[in-house]
Amino acid sequence: MPTSESQTKGYMCRILECPGRRPECSHEDGRFISQESFVGLAPGSEVPMEGTVVCCSICERSGVVERVEDRLVVVHVQDTEVFGDGSRVDFQDAHPLPKP
């Protein structure tokens, strides 16, 4: 059932580029999703639970280094969805670091 403009859902979607900042958001199911962007942070800054901000050697934008399987990637933007028994992180903008 579509939501009318006069109804409010009691929260604002936290995805930066989501059209869901309006009442007709597709995230009306109560999911908690937050989006973090490390691009605007200065290299050398510390991000709690993420690490130190670095300058990406591919695009020269700021990001944090994460290990994914056997590779390192510089993450610029990530989405985190919180569940009752944990959370899931999806990288929305990231570059793999070249192997040495």
What's the pLDDT band for 93 if we cut at 50, 70, 90? very high
What's the pLDDT band for 3 if we cut at 50, 70, 90? very low
- Look up residue 31 and give its two tokens: 């999911």
* pLDDT greater than 70 at residue 20: no
- CB-CB contact of 2 with 9 (8 Å): no
* pLDDT greater than 70 at residue 84: yes
Q: What is the DSSP letter of 19?
A: G
pLDDT of residue 2: 44
pLDDT in tens, 50-81: 899 999 999 999 999 999 888 999 999 998 88
pLDDT in tens, 28-55: 556 677 788 999 999 999 998 889 999 9
> What's the CA gap between 63 and 54, in Å, rounded?
6
Give the largest CA-CA distance in the chain. 57
> What's the CA gap between 39 and 75, in Å, rounded?
9
pTM: 0.69
